[in-house]
Every structure is written in C-alpha cells, then in structure tokens.
C-alpha cells in the first residue's frame, strides 16, 4: 500500500527520521525537526513512534512531578509524579474523541491513529519543556513554603510547555490540509480546561493532605481562590 501524498507547509521540512523511531532520535526530532515527526506519523508506520511518544511524554511528566513533590517532600515525592502522569493520560483519553471530531470538521485528512499520535507528540513536547524548567522549579521549591507561589510557578511553566505542544498540533493540522484550523483552536481551549480541572480533581499534587484524593468536588478556579486566601491548608 502506497503512503498518502506529502503536503507542503512553509517553515517545516517533512522528511523521514534518519535513525528510525528510537527514543533519542524522537526527542531530538521534536526539538529540532518536528516536521520529521509529523512525516513519520503521516506514513503507514506510526505505531512504534506513537508508542514512544506516549511513553516518553508520560515519563517526562512523572519526572517533573518529582520536582513538584519536593515542596512537601515525603510521600509526595512519589504521589506527585504518579498524579502528574495519571492526570495527563486521563486528559488525553478524555479529549481524544473531540480532537478527532474537530479535526474532521476542519477538513483534515488524517486517520484516527495519526491524530492520536499527534496528540502524543504534543504532550511529549510539553513534557520536554517542563523537564527543561525542572531545575528552576526545584530551586524555588527549596526556597519557599508557599503553595500558592509554587502553584503559580508550575502553572506558568506548564502553560509555556503546552503552548509549544499545541503549536505543534496546529502545524500538523496545516500539514494535513487545513490552514486556519479554527475548530482545533477551540479544542485547544477545551484541552487546557480539562488539564486544569484534572489538577484539582487529583489534588493534592503540590502540597500534602491526609487523603490520597480530595473528599469534596471543586472547580479549579474556586480551588485556586481558596488557596490564595489560605483556606484549607490540605488537599492542594
């Protein structure tokens, strides 16, 4: 079976990955040659690449979670990484159906496994950015006990990382034949909101509490406001 034709998008070079789907070459391609990742996902050999993108993305989130857990220490050194990886996986599973539907509405000619791989690539790139910010997050966690301050700092780092990840997703949409990607932009907002709510649903991640999961339901904005006011020192 012949692979589908290769579209052309200015600013990106779509070509095969010279070293195949190896972890090191995948990470290097995401940072230096994202067009190669998109090209490989466009071909009929995206299974192994998608697996590595998912595995590396979740591992990167867990690694950054160790830095998040250093503020409280103790059990949070394994609880925070577990929740970071679990929350990311749940957010992807929740948002994947709508991503495929919005891609179809945008006229993007891509199979569902290709769309899935691009979502994994966006998350993996986000995780790479977070790992780059990890030393900065660690030094602040050793210098302050403020959950609100560290929460804002980690949120800033995550927003920067997810911004680059969603930018890659938009480039993939243009590669597959859509220039404006209007529906994908709406999906970007949905994905960010789901991830933010996931941080509240799985709290505490930064601070510590007597229970592994919260006992009450909260909207993430209400949770942030309570944290800023110093209400409820647990379940943060």
- Which segments of 176-207 does DSSP mark as H helices, in order? 182-201
Q: pLDDT tens across 2-20, in order?
A: 444 444 444 467 777 776 5
pLDDT of 139 reads 95
Q: Using alpha carbons, list the distances in angstroms from residue 174 to 7, 105, 111, 123.
A: 9, 14, 15, 18
Distance separating alpha carbons of residues 48 and 73, to the nearest angstrom: 36
Total Cβ atoms within 10 A of residue 231: 9
Position 19 scores a pLDDT of 63
Tell me what pLDDT residue 44 has.
59
Instruction: Look up the pTM and report it.
Output: 0.86
Mean pLDDT per block of 10 residues along the chain (236 residues) reads 45 67 84 86 76 94 95 89 95 94 80 89 96 95 88 94 92 70 85 94 82 81 79 44
Rg of the chain over CA atoms, in angstroms? Answer: 19
Query: What pLDDT, on the 0 to 100 scale, is given for residue 93?
Result: 96
Predicted local confidence at residue 235, as pLDDT: 43
pLDDT of residue 12: 67
């Amino acid at each position: 079976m012949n692979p589908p034709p290769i579209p052309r998008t200015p600013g990106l070079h779509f070509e095969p990955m010279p070293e195949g789907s190896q972890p090191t070459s995948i990470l290097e391609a995401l940072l230096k040659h994202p067009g190669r990742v998109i090209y490989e996902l466009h071909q009929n050999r995206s299974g192994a690449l998608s697996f590595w993108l998912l595995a590396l993305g979740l591992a990167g989130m867990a690694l950054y979670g160790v830095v998040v857990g250093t503020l409280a220490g103790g059990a949070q050194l394994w609880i925070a990484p577990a929740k970071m990886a679990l929350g990311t996986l749940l957010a992807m599973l929740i948002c994947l159906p709508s991503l495929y539907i919005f891609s179809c509405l945008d006229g993007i000619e891509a199979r569902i496994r290709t769309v899935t791989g691009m979502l994994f690539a966006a998350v993996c790139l986000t995780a790479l950015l977070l790992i780059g910010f990890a030393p900065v997050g660690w030094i602040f966690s050793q210098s302050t006990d403020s959950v609100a301050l560290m929460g804002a700092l980690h949120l800033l780092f995550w927003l920067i990382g997810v911004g680059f990840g969603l930018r890659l997703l938009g480039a993939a949409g243009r590669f597959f034949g859509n220039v404006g990607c209007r529906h994908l932009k709406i999906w970007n907002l949905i994905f960010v909101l789901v991830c933010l709510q996931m941080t509240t649903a799985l709290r505490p991640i930064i601070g510590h509490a007597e229970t592994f999961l919260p006992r009450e339901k909260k909207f993430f904005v209400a949770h942030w406001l309570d944290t800023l006011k110093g209400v409820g020192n647990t379940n943060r």
